[in-house]
Structure 1
Amino acid sequence: MKTKLVLVLLLVFTVLLTACSGGNSGSAKADDVIKMVWYPNESGQDMKSSRDEIGRMVSEATGKEVEHQLTTDYSIAIETLVNNNADLAFTGAQAYVEANKRNDAVRTIAVKTGESGTLDDAMYYSWLAVNKDEQDKFKENGEFSLDKIADTRFSFVSNSSTSGFKVPAASIIDHFSQQDEYADLTEVDLMESGTLFSQVLFGNSHQGSAVNLLSGNADVAAFCDTCVEDYVELADGEENTEGAVYTVKEGAAEPFNTVEGKEFTLMNATPVLNEPFVVNMDVIGQEDFEKVQEVLTSVEFANNEKIFAPEGSDQNALFTKSGDERLLPVEDEWYDPIREMAN
């Protein structure tokens, strides 16, 4: 009996030790499937050709099947990655920082460069936009003023979005906290109706947030340039600058098909570090990490027009290529500026 009891205790101890080892890089064995989870922004039919092509190239590089996991919510994608249910993902900078904090096996693998082909200009823009016909409501002495967004209906993307929440929230809090009424304003306050905004909406994707604005459900919306570039075109002004006017393209795909021809104006545009491809090292393993990184950062990948659509092309793709854009390896520390925003 004593021998059996000892064996049972040893078995229980072994199971508990194994369960507690999650989050240590390399502790899990890689399987024969590469699971890739996608944000809502990239889960639509319009991005299918890019998803399929990335899957094909990763599959050829690893010799494994690639399984795409599409989502309708940011948090689902993040939870899937953090909880060891996905090998690979394309996330925002803020989501990566959150995921890495919760599970240090989540690591960066590659990021898109700027036109220069380097990380020096690897950035996109967080927009605050208003409907063109209502832009004067948000101006003071002829200039856009954040004071005017108080008591409006405001649309964010998701509270896990870098450019659709974290960056605009930081600017808004910095501005309004100078006023006695809002001296203690927090991110939580911005997520709730009735504090600064009369109503707060979440689009659950950048496209959804933009459509909240253009459909009249919101007065102001936060979303990013690269996530809507396939649906809109510059109508007036200079790209990514205050006062620039954009029009929804004729024949735009869902969800913009319901707001075709609508116009919006930028209140401001803030540069943001490009989104990374990330992996869970506990799931993917070092060998496949190296194979996937090699293919993602290859010239073949950068020249694939199903992934990098040429500028001016009518083809929908994950990225647009106007110069020497490609993917390059990136280290965790590159995203420290995003971490510092929370301090």
Structure 2
Amino acid sequence: MLRKRFGLASVALLMMGLAACSDNSEGGASAEANGSSDEEINFVWYPNESGQDMTSSRDAIGAIIEEATGREVNHQLTTDYAIAIETLVNDNAELAFMGAQGYIEANNSNDAIQPLFVQSGASGTLDDAVYYSWLAVNLDDEDIYKDGDDYNLDEIADKTMSFVSNSSTSGFKVPASGIISHFEDEDLDEESLMEGGPLFSQVLFGNSHQGSAVNVLNGNADVAAFCDTCVENYVELVEGEENRPGSIYKVKDDAAEPFNTVTGSEFVLISVTPVLNAPFVGNIDLLGEDVFKEIQDHFASDEVAENEEIFVPEDSEESALFFKSENERFAPVDDDWFNPIRELSN
């Protein structure tokens, strides 16, 4: 499913944290209290993938891990990027699914955290393993940002902006890089964007891609950054091509939380930028090199690529993390693959 995202030039960022709360853990125990054991593998999830609608995907992924390792998986759900990242960094979880930026932040703090694999592109390779970071506005406000047939990012100045989290690749790192480049005469940096001024009148953080999208749809923000894959279960394309500026999307009538409060709302993309697909990562010290490799090899297998509980058929009405349109599968990656994201901070 990880299909595509946003538009200016580069790739992405994602998470940081503290320790998952017991009332957010499917296993019923907190990340901090559980730690690691030979009997159990703790998997911490970002807020984007912690919703009830993602339960079947989490369970299917957990089943593959259990099959590969013979160990039970405890799913730890979070409501904050920082919690997810710190849970991993502090050796309170062995595995996570995070954006490129979140991985880089985690690896900087604990070099035992290494990437396992990412979803390939439709080709089945890493050549097109990207999703998309969007800047979106309400359809009724489209003309404010139009310049002929194109969109003018100059018009986002002095508006209320919604990002996801400062640890989000496609919900902050990539769009921030594009905005800073566009307003090159304004002497902007990431910190100034997070604080609002001098560019924006106010900056909000949705704490998830879904939350950022809802911020613009309910009128709390004028412009919002979020990615295609995190909202594709809730919205449908009604005009234009997928992941192209000017394309119009509508919230489905039966959309789950948090979109159930804005069903029928329409938004238009004013900027779209490709982003490197998000990695599954593991703590190699806690797992051990052999188990780390077993998990990596198992997920990269043809068996998993053909598993319809993992890669749900594209025409399915079910919510899922990953969809199969052509030859999608999981592909191993190493740390260097994420250097384009690191370079956004240089």
TM-score (norm 1): 0.89
Q: Which residue of 2 aligns with 1:44?
A: 51
Percent identity, aligned pairs only?
Answer: 64
Q: Which runs of 5 or more structure 1 residues have no equivalent in the other structure?
A: 1-27
CA shift in 2, pair 1:265/1:29, >3 Å: closer
| Contact map agreement 1:237 1:243 (CA 8 A) in 2 | yes
Q: Which residue of 1 aligns with 2:309?
A: 306
CA shift in 2, pair 1:212/1:29, >3 Å: closer
> Which amino acid is 1:161 matched to?
S
Counterpart check, 1:240 vs 2:243: yes
Q: 1:324 aligns with which of 322, 327, 338?
A: 327
1:176-255 correspondence to structure 2 within 5 Å: 176-177=183-184, 179=185, 182=186, 184-255=187-258
User: Deviations 1:29-63 (Å, cap 9, x if unpaired)?
Assistant: 96221110000000000000011111112112211
Q: 1:159 aligns with which of 152, 155, 166?
A: 166
Q: 1:337 aligns with which of 326, 340, 343?
A: 340
CA shift in 2, pair 1:130/1:217, >3 Å: same
**CA separation in 1, counterparts of 2:115 and 2:196?**
35
Q: Which residue of 2 aligns with 1:128?
A: 135
Q: Using the TM superposition, give the Cα deviation of residue 298 of structure 1 relative to its aligned residue in structure 2, in angstroms.
A: 1.9
Q: Which residue of 1 aligns with 2:155?
A: 148
Q: Secondary structure at the match of 1:334?
A: helix
Q: Which residue of 1 aligns with 2:60?
A: 53
Q: Which residue of 2 aligns with 1:24?
A: none
| Contact map agreement 1:29 1:285 (CA 8 A) in 2 | no
> Which amino acid is 2:135 matched to?
L
Q: Secondary structure at the match of 2:210?
A: helix
Q: Which residue of 2 aligns with 1:14?
A: none
Q: Which residue of 2 aligns with 1:9?
A: none
1:92-111 correspondence to structure 2 within 5 Å: 92-111=99-118
> Which amino acid is 1:140 matched to?
D
Q: Which residue of 1 aligns with 2:318?
A: 315
Q: Secondary structure at the match of 2:288?
A: helix
Counterpart check, 1:260 vs 2:263: yes
Q: 1:171 aligns with which of 172, 175, 178?
A: 178
> Which amino acid is 2:285 matched to?
D
Runs of 4+ more than 3 Å apart:
none
Q: Which has the larger radius of gyration?
A: 1
TM-score (norm 2): 0.88
**CA separation in 1, counterparts of 2:297 and 2:314?**
25
Query: Alignment length, in residue pairs?
Result: 312
> Which amino acid is 1:118 matched to?
T
CA RMSD of aligned residues (A): 1.3
Q: Which residue of 1 aligns with 2:299?
A: 296
**CA separation in 1, counterparts of 2:323 and 2:62?**
19
> Which amino acid is 2:129 matched to?
A
Q: Using the TM superposition, give the Cα deviation of residue 304 of structure 1 relative to its aligned residue in structure 2, in angstroms.
A: 2.2
User: Deviations 1:105-144 (Å, cap 9, x if unpaired)?
Assistant: 0100011000000000000000000001101111234531
